[in-house]
A and B are shown apart, each in its own frame.
Chain A
Amino acid sequence: MNAMTGTWTLVGPLADIPRQGARVVKTRNGCIAVFRTAEDEVFALNDSCPHKGGPLSEGIVHGTSVTCPLHAWVFDLNSGTAQGADVGQVPTWPARVEGGQVYLDIGQLG
Chain B
Amino acid sequence: MTKKKLVVIGAGMASGRMLEHLLEGGGPESKNWDVTLFNGEPRGNYNRLMLSPVLSGEKTYEQIVTHDDDWYEAQGIACRFGEQITQIDRERQVVVSKGGETPYDALVIATGSAPFIIPVQGKDLPGVCTYRDLEDTNAMIAASRPGAKAVVIGGGLLGLEAAAGMAARGAEVTVIHLMGHLMERQLDPSAGYLLQKDLERRGIRVHCKGATKAILGKDRVEAVLLDDGTVYDADLVCMAVGIRPEVRLANDAHLEVGRGIVVNDQMQTSDLAIYALGECVEHEKQLFGLVAPLYDQAKILAETLNGNTAAFQPVQTATKLKVTGVDLFSAGDFAEGPGREDIVFRDPGRGVYKRLILEGDRLLGAVMYGDTADGSWFFDLIKQGKDVSDIRDTLIFGPAFAAGGAAANPLAAVAALPPEAEICGCNGVCKGKIIQAVEGGATTLDAVRATTKASSSCGTCTGLVEKVMALTLGDSFTANANPPMCKCTDHTHEDVRRMIKAQGLKSIPAVMQELGWKTVGGCASCRPALNYYLLADWPLEYRDDRQSRFVNERNHANIQKDGTYSVVPRMWGGVTTPAELRAIADAADKYNVPMVKVTGGQRIDLLGVKKEDLPAIWSDFNEAGMVSGHAYAKGLRTVKTCVGEQFCRFGTQDSTGLGIKLEKLLWGSWTPAKVKLGVSGCPRNCAEATCKDVGVVCVDSGYQISVAGAAGMDVKETELLCTVPTEEEALEVIAAFAQLYRENARYLHRIYKWVAKVGLDWCKDQIADRATRKALYDRFMISQSVYQTDPWAELAERPADWAPIKTLTLEAAE
Chain B residues closer than 8 Å to A59, beta-carbon distance: 524, 551
CB-contact partner of A34 in B340, B342, B521, B805, under 8 A: B805
Chain B residues closer than 8 Å to A70, beta-carbon distance: 559, 561
Per the CB 8 Å criterion, the residue count for chain A at the interface is 44
Asked whether A109 lies within 8 Å of B812 as measured between CB atoms, the reply is yes
Asked whether B559 lies within 8 Å of A58 as measured between CB atoms, the reply is yes
CB-contact partner of B561 in A9, A52, A79, under 8 A: A52
Interface string of A22-36 (1 = CB under 8 A from B): 011111100100100
CB-contact partner of A12 in B338, B342, B524, B806, under 8 A: B806
Chain A residues closer than 8 Å to B342, beta-carbon distance: 63
Mark the stretch among B74-82, B329-337, B377-385 that contacts chain A: B329-337
Chain B residues closer than 8 Å to A19, beta-carbon distance: 180, 547
Number of residue pairs A-B, CB distance < 8 angstroms = 112
Asked whether A21 lies within 8 Å of B547 as measured between CB atoms, the reply is yes
Query: What residue in chain A is nearest B334 (Cβ atoms)?
Result: A39
CB-contact partner of A23 in B549, B554, B805, B811, under 8 A: B805
A62 vs B35: C-alpha distance in the bound complex, in angstroms? 57
Asked whether B554 lies within 8 Å of A25 as measured between CB atoms, the reply is no
Asked whether A67 lies within 8 Å of B524 as measured between CB atoms, the reply is yes
Query: What residue in chain B is nearest A10 (Cβ atoms)?
Result: B806
Chain A residues closer than 8 Å to B546, beta-carbon distance: 18, 21
Asked whether B338 lies within 8 Å of A78 as measured between CB atoms, the reply is yes
Asked whether A63 lies within 8 Å of B519 as measured between CB atoms, the reply is yes
Q: Which of A60-98 contact B (CB under 8 A)?
A: 60-65, 67, 69-70, 72, 74, 78-79
CB-contact partner of B808 in A25, A55, A78, under 8 A: A25
Asked whether B550 lies within 8 Å of A60 as measured between CB atoms, the reply is yes
Asked whether A63 lies within 8 Å of B808 as measured between CB atoms, the reply is no
Answer whether A38 and B550 are a contact pair too, CB < 8 Å, given A11-B806, A78-B338. no
- Interface flag for B804 (CB, 8 Å): yes
Asked whether A38 lies within 8 Å of B804 as measured between CB atoms, the reply is no
- Interface flag for B807 (CB, 8 Å): yes
Query: What residue in chain B is nearest A108 (Cβ atoms)?
Result: B812
Chain A residues closer than 8 Å to B335, beta-carbon distance: 37, 39-41
A41 vs B335: C-alpha distance in the bound complex, in angstroms? 7
Answer whether A25 and B547 are a contact pair too, CB < 8 Å, given A39-B336, A54-B563. no
- Interface flag for B142 (CB, 8 Å): no
CB-contact partner of A69 in B520, B527, B550, under 8 A: B550
Interface string of B504-539 (1 = CB under 8 A from A): 000000000000000111111001100000000000
CB-contact partner of A109 in B339, B805, B808, under 8 A: B808
Chain B residues closer than 8 Å to A11, beta-carbon distance: 805-806
CB-contact partner of A58 in B180, B522, B551, under 8 A: B551
- Interface flag for B548 (CB, 8 Å): yes
Query: What residue in chain A is nearest B545 (Cβ atoms)?
Result: A20
Of B337, B561, B807, B808, most buried by chain A (CB within 10 Å of CB) is B808
Answer whether A27 and B812 are a contact pair too, CB < 8 Å, given A38-B189, A67-B524, A69-B551. yes
Query: What residue in chain A is nearest B337 (Cβ atoms)?
Result: A41
Q: Which of B542-589 contact A (CB under 8 A)?
A: 546-551, 554-555, 559, 561-563
Query: What residue in chain B is nearest A47 (Cβ atoms)?
Result: B563
Chain A residues closer than 8 Å to B555, beta-carbon distance: 58
Asked whether A60 lies within 8 Å of B524 as measured between CB atoms, the reply is yes
Asked whether A64 lies within 8 Å of B522 as measured between CB atoms, the reply is no
A57 CB to nearest chain B CB (Å): 9
Asked whether B550 lies within 8 Å of A16 as measured between CB atoms, the reply is no
- Interface flag for B2 (CB, 8 Å): no
Answer whether A18 and B547 are a contact pair too, CB < 8 Å, given A28-B809, A60-B527. yes
Chain B residues closer than 8 Å to A6, beta-carbon distance: none
Question: Given A12-B805, A58-B555, 15 other A-B contacts at CB below 8 A?
Answer: A12-B806, A17-B805, A18-B546, A20-B547, A38-B189, A39-B334, A41-B335, A41-B337, A55-B563, A60-B524, A60-B548, A62-B519, A78-B339, A109-B812, A110-B811
A-B contact list, 6 entries, CB within 8 Å: A26-B806, A40-B335, A52-B561, A58-B555, A67-B523, A67-B524
